[in-house]
Amino acid sequence: MFAGDYETVDVEHQADGCGQPTTPQPIGDDVHWFRLDDVTAVTGPLVAYYPCSALGDCVTDYDLYRSFGKTGADWMTTISAAFDPGCRLQYRERRLMRVDDTTIEIDDLLYAEVDGSLSGDACSIAEAKQRGTSMPCVEETVSLADARDATSATSLPAR
């Protein structure tokens, strides 16, 4: 459904709480070109993300952090983190969606809060994961990418 080579054509970001107006951002070299492929991981199906330095020139191993697993009806990745002292908890969701036959969207949402009542082992990744999306959404990045043909650099229909 998503397999193919892609060029990022738009990146917008905001850090004022999710759902607020976004601001266009420069497209970094580390996200300009990438390939998605369907792979089978130990935990189930995965849409693997391969960073590329140019169209068709991609690394051999996929980037697990940027890849997407199947969660219910969604393709997404979640990352939890906890930083002590001060216990700063974070939960990140990255969702992959199809916009139309040639365009995909990647939404990256960061939920975070500081809980000074937690410290040591209580300030944990498990705690961040448990709180998840119940924490305030503090940052959002939306990226659009178009499918490209590796030999002609022209848009392709969805696979």
The pLDDT tens digits of the residues spanning 19-60 come to 889 999 999 888 999 999 999 888 888 999 999 999 989 999
Q: For the whole model, what pTM was predicted? A: 0.86
The pLDDT tens digits of the residues spanning 70-110 come to 877 788 888 999 998 889 999 999 999 999 999 999 999 99
The pLDDT tens digits of the residues spanning 135-149 come to 999 999 999 999 998
Q: Catalogue all structural domains in the chain, each as residue range(s) with its CATH number.
A: 4-148 (2.40.128)
Q: Which of 112, 155, 151, 148 is nearest to 32 (CA)?
A: 148
